Amino acid sequence: MALKLSFLAMLLFLLLASTTKAHASVFDVTSATYGAKPGSYVSKALAKAWSDACASPSASKVVVPSGTYKLKEATFRGPCKAPIEMQVRGTLQAPANAGQLTRPDTWVGFQYIDMLTLSGGGTFDGQGALAWSQNDCHKNKNCKPIPVNLRFEFLTNSKVQDITSLNSKNFHMHVFRCNHTTFQHLTITTPDESRNTDGIHIGASTGINITHAKIGTGDDCVSIGDDSHQITVTDVTCGPGHGISIGSLGRYKEEKDVIGIIVKNCTLTNTQNGMRIKTWPDSPSPSIASDIHFEDIIMVNVSNPILIDQLYCPYTRCDQKPPSKVKISNVSFKNIKGSSFTPLAVKLVCTRGIPCENVELTDIDLPTVETKALLPLCVLMSSPQLRA
């Protein structure tokens, strides 16, 4: 009997110790340890809370409670000793003047972390209006760097969910060298006149999943750059914006291939483009864009619903330049329905030098908004290998 009581006492002790340890793994920036208060700057408190949480040998959570906090800038760096979550329940507010940031291309960054979760239902407010008025990147390829709201670099096995990115000065989320990371239940918002405010841009990453997101910006809702593999975009509502884009590709030396992209069950409303693949002419190096599939897409009043453009060139005229060296192949557009704002529903601009191959168009139903008439297919430059 005594042995049994001792065993039960030991179990109770372990349970209490475990509970205490679990509570100790929550790092609230408004606690007495860190001292943050709504309405004031939270930079130092967040940095200290992150440092302590990242050093914890057990799973930890950094909490930003409800309220509005000023955040000059922050970079949260790993590796951490255990899985870590940052739970932002309130609003973090960036300086309106980008010149106050010491890292000119980033407001909030996460680097070199395995098993990160960013969550909480809170908002990252980039206060980007001033930056939009000063942004000349649409006409100046040597423009000054502009801060991204959230930059994710070298993450693995991570999740970004249930947060809002508001009024970013530049891209809302920039994903680079990340593997097996999911972005879900996101709200991304800037007005349509804001330039270069891509919702989520992905580059040099593998196994990225974007799902259940509402994105409205002044640029691409989702853009996928070179060296991206096995990217899935599902259940995304896009608009306003420039649509969902692969590229632009082929602008820089030694760009790597883009292979294995699926975009499915998305709705685009009042966007400049729908599903787009864009590559630069006069590419300095050859590369491949292959196994790209768009399926079950609804277009509402979209100007260029389906577009492959191998003469993408927003700065100067490109019609006299050598063709793109990006080989586009094994692309499908299936069950694309809704309405087009322009008289041209499908536009394929494929170069003579390296033409598109195996482009499949199936169940395309895109009448004009006014006439409800079916729209023509336009193929410019060379005729790609089409399957219908």
pLDDT tens profile 12-68: 444 444 443 444 499 999 999 999 999 999 999 999 999 999 999 999 999 999 999
> What number does CATH give the domain 25-137+150-387?
2.160.20.10
pLDDT band for position 368 (50/70/90)?
confident
Report pLDDT for 164.
98
- The question of whether 242 is a catalytic residue gets the answer yes
pLDDT band for position 369 (50/70/90)?
low
pLDDT band for position 138 (50/70/90)?
low
pLDDT tens profile 226-255: 999 999 999 999 999 999 999 999 999 999
The percent of the chain in helix, strand and coil, each rounded to the nearest 5, is: 10, 45, 40
Listed in sequence order, the DSSP H helices in the chain are: 2-24, 43-54, 129-134
Task: Identify the CA nearest to 222 among candidates 207, 203, 195.
Answer: 203
Report pLDDT for 387.
60
Q: How far apart are CA 323 and CA 219, in angstroms?
A: 25
Q: Got the DSSP string for 59-89?
A: -EEEEE-SSEEE---EEEE---SS-EEEEE-
Average pLDDT, the chain: 90
Q: How far apart are CA 210 and CA 185, in angstroms?
A: 9
pLDDT tens profile 285-326: 999 999 999 999 999 999 999 999 998 988 766 667 888 999
- In the predicted model, is pLDDT for residue 359 greater than 90? yes
Report pLDDT for 375.
44
Q: Looking at 138, 201, 242, 293, which residue is catalytic?
A: 242
Q: How far apart are CA 204 and CA 156, in angstroms?
A: 13
